Amino acid sequence: MKKIQLTKEQTTQLAAAVFFTGLFLYGYLSYFWLPLGKKIDAKNKRVAEIEADIRNARAQKAKYKNLEAKLASLQLEKDAAQKKLPRERKFPDLIRTITDLSKKYNVKVKSINPMGSAQVEYFMKVSYTLSITGNYHDVGRFLTALGVEERILTSENLSIQATGSMEASVDATFTLVAYQYNG
């Protein structure tokens, strides 16, 4: 094999080409390739974090499949409980209930007198004295209807007296207790 003989000028040109190629590669790597590679690595890490968050969210979603249905169910239960044990006194609603039931069961309400309220641990007992008149069985049905109302009501200290008139055979006086949530 023959050795290639280069002239001084060719050697200088070759050295200059190698130098400028190295300089170009250094510039390309330091200003374009490496910063772009760092950005790509940072973006890949961010994508991996987001995918991990998505997997975590999907796992929690699977764990709580019916969370919205359960929340709706609990809201309905809360509303039902508030109807039974309201936060406010709601006296007009109570009067309306008593009036409707008295008409339904042919009982005449003679008087309703507020007696006051008593604080109990989680609720308040608001008492009213009611005086009614009607047929014995109608009075019994009226008291039963009060007891099964949606709002929690109780009848206490019932006093029944017979009357001489045919249309109203008994007079009844009792304490109606309406309960109110105190939380």
CB 104, CB 141: distance < 8 Å: no
What pLDDT does residue 1 have?
60
Whether the predicted model's global pTM rises above the 0.75 cut: no
For 174, other C-beta atoms within 10 Å of its C-beta total 20
Nearest to 79 by CA among 145, 149, 150, 182: 150
Q: Which tokens sit at 97? A: 């209930």
Divide the 183 residues of the chain into consecutive groups of 10 and give the mean pLDDT of each group.
79 90 88 84 90 88 74 78 64 86 92 86 86 90 89 88 77 89 70
Rounded CA-CA distance 160/94 in Å is: 22
Rounded CA-CA distance 171/111 in Å is: 12
Rounded CA-CA distance 53/43 in Å is: 15
Is residue 121 helix, strand or coil?
A: coil
What pLDDT does residue 183 have?
61
Architecture of the domain whose range is 83-181: 2-Layer Sandwich (3.30)
